[in-house]
Structure 1
Amino acid sequence: MIPILFYSVAFLVILVDQISKYWIRTYLNVGDTMVVWEGVLHFKHFQNSGAAFGLFEGYGRLFVPVAIIITGIIIYMLKKGYINGKLLKIGVALFVGGAIGNAIDRILFNQVTDFIHVQFGQGILNVADYALSFGVILIFIDSVMDEIKKRKAANLN
């Protein structure tokens, strides 16, 4: 059975990520800022050739094989039935979509287009970065809920 939820969410993340990055590259020069919500949200065009927060500057392409390997492992686990439940599938799909979205940038441009600057946060991120982060949060929540269910079931026996 094809995991439609997983593929739909991952595809949507990749699509929104790539369209938003294309829009930023087209309408904002690197370093330019657009105020979206004064004091809260700005779009600031930034090119990152490394990883999060500029770590590994110039070595961003090293993350492409990692994204491909993780995606392959996750698809294998989906097909084998190891990834069950909507929350976990959505979390994993967000993670994969974000990883692929940034990998596409690294392959095509040798850097990632970042632009989302939330005033009370750190760094300048993109849709893929947020998808990765929210994906990890959902995976964590699912694992905590699963552990709670297991403990409740063990206490009932």
Structure 2
Amino acid sequence: MLFYLIAGLVVVIDQVSKYLIRTYVQVGETITYWHLNLTHYENSGMARSMFQGYSRLFAVIAVLFVIGVLYYRRSWKLQGKWLDIGLAFLVGGAVGNGIDRIIFGQVTDFLISRSGRGILNLADHAINIGVLFVIIHGCIHFLQTKLRSSRLEE
């Protein structure tokens, strides 16, 4: 249940934020809101505007990713609290950006990264959070496996 709650919240918050940006901020315009500079940008590619014009292909990849995660979750091949949370953020982010790609043929970005390396949206941040949780799961799983194997050797 936590998986669906997180994924759903990510999609809703992402889509509402993009709707507000598309409605109230012109493409290329920058506004300041709560000490954040928001710049409306439309990206038909992927991260850092690479592969412009391939938005529909990335939409298909997002759909396949979501189907794969849902299949493996149902078959219990993917288990663990941290993994479940990470996959929820990944799926929510993929669906959020996938909706944009399917409906508009591009993704609405508006959050300037602090490193100055691009303009992102909340779905992109959710994907980054998801990767972090998956890495945490992997580290915990690795340490548990090492601990079990050392106990067996004793």
Same fold (TM over 0.5): yes
The 5 Å alignment of 1:1-157 reads 4-36=1-33, 38=35, 41-157=36-152
Alpha-carbon separation, structure 1, partners of 2:144 and 2:50: 38
Q: Unaligned stretches of 5+ in structure 2?
A: none
Identity %: 43
State the Cα deviation string for residues 97-154 of structure 1 (Å, max 9, x = none): 1011101001111000000113334210001001111101110110111001100111
Distance 1:103 1:92 in 2: 16
Do the aligned residues in 2 keep the contact of 1:42 with 1:118 (CA within 8 Å)? Answer: no
SS of residue paired to 2:39: strand
Alpha-carbon shift at residue 9 of structure 1 (Å): 0.7
CA distance in 2, matches of 1:75, 1:118: 30
Asked if structure 2 preserves the Cα contact closer than 8 Å seen for 1:34 and 1:42, the reply is yes
Note the aligned Cα RMSD (angstroms): 1.2
Q: Give, in angstroms, the shift of residue 156 of structure 1.
A: 0.9
Q: Displacement, 1:64? A: 1.1
Deviation at 1:155, TM superposition (A): 0.6
The number of residue pairs the alignment matches comes to 152
Unaligned runs of 5+ in 1: none
Instruction: Give the AA of the match of 1:17.
Output: D
Indicate the SS of the match to 1:72: helix
Matched AA of 1:55: M
**Deviation per CA, 1:72-109, whole angstroms, max 9, x where unpaired?**
11111111112222211010010011011101001111
Asked if 2 retains the 8 angstrom alpha-carbon contact of 1:51 and 1:57, the reply is yes
CA separation in 1, counterparts of 2:124 and 2:50? Answer: 14
